[in-house]
Amino acid sequence: MEEKKVIVITGASSGIGEAIAKELASQGHPVVLGARRTDKLAQIKNEVEATGGQAAYRQVDVTSLEEVQALAQTALTEFGRIDVWINNAGLMPHSLLIDAKVDDWNRMIDVNLRGTLYGIAAAQPIFHEQNTGHLINLGSVASLYSHVGGAVYSATKWGVKAISESLREEEAQAGHNVRVTTIYPGAVQSELVSHMTDPARREASQQFYDQFAIPAERIATIVSQAIAMPADTALNDIVVRPINQVQ
Ligand code: NDP
């Protein structure tokens, strides 16, 4: 490997975040893991270290700016810098608007949208001080389309797209050598569907995922490629789907 990069990943306790952590750690990059379930994070850190990698973790609820900033501090304390910050934590409890699942709406807004903003708020000043950095946000194909049952999830992921694009322009204008990458996946195997609160939608989504979803390692491969681009080049927007997923 040419260069080791310190990589912070939110939502690293399962699914896409876990796959990214393991893939990048296997390439020699120190990884800093954030999520609420510390038993899972400890297990992933042990697995990474058992195969010769470096990892640290911290319990983080991304709806708290202070906790997200503490995650950044953990990375600085353990490894001295942050090269890549990945805003990955998210949830997708689909429901019809008529069902007014306000708690689910608020959790998606808090985690998917506020959590992404808090990650940017924690990482951006450090990137400016270092005069380099890479912010990676997890959007979704739901950033590009909206369907029955997906109004609020899509609203948060459209928001992630909007924030990413403004951030990209602001960073390009500021000239601090900060890259911005947004990844828009289709169906990926993870715990995402299992946390849906509407039983009928969960079952329907599970059937779709069982048929189409691709392994989370595919997203880890894309992150790895985005990170490995020459420093003067940014992979900005990447849509990735199972080959037979229509939208
Ligand atoms: P998972 O449910 O497997 O992972 C979600 C992660 O987010 C977990 O590690 C969870 O950890 C963490 N998380 C949830 N709430 C919080 C919180 N309040 N604070 C900190 N961490 C939190 O799903 P995926 O891996 O699929 O999801 C990762 C991202 O990918 C999400 O943003 C999702 O929207 C996006 N995505 C996923 C797709 C898919 O098909 N799987 C498709 C498109 C986008 P913990 O519970 O321990 O806190």
Residue ranges of domains in the chain, CATH in brackets? 7-239 (3.40.50.720)
β-partners of residue 14 are: none
- Ligand 1, atom nearest to 40 Cα: 47
Question: Is 159 close to ligand 1, i.e. is its CB under 6 Å away?
Answer: no
d(CA 206, CA 213): 10
Residue 2 has pLDDT above 70, yes or no: no
Q: Per-residue confidence at 247, pLDDT binned at 50, 70, 90?
A: confident
pLDDT at residue number 3: 83
Q: Taking residues 3-15, what's their average pLDDT?
A: 97
Chain segment 208-234, per-residue pLDDT in tens: 999 999 999 999 999 999 999 999 999
Q: Euclidean distance between the first and final Cα of the chain, in Å?
A: 36
Helix, strand, coil fractions of the chain, as percent rounded to 5: 50, 15, 35
- Share the mean pLDDT of the chain: 97
Mean pLDDT computed over 80-85: 98
Phi, psi of 186 (to 5 degrees): -85, -145
**118 tagged catalytic:** no
Give the count of alpha carbons within 13 A of 187, CB side only: 17
Amino acid type, 146: S
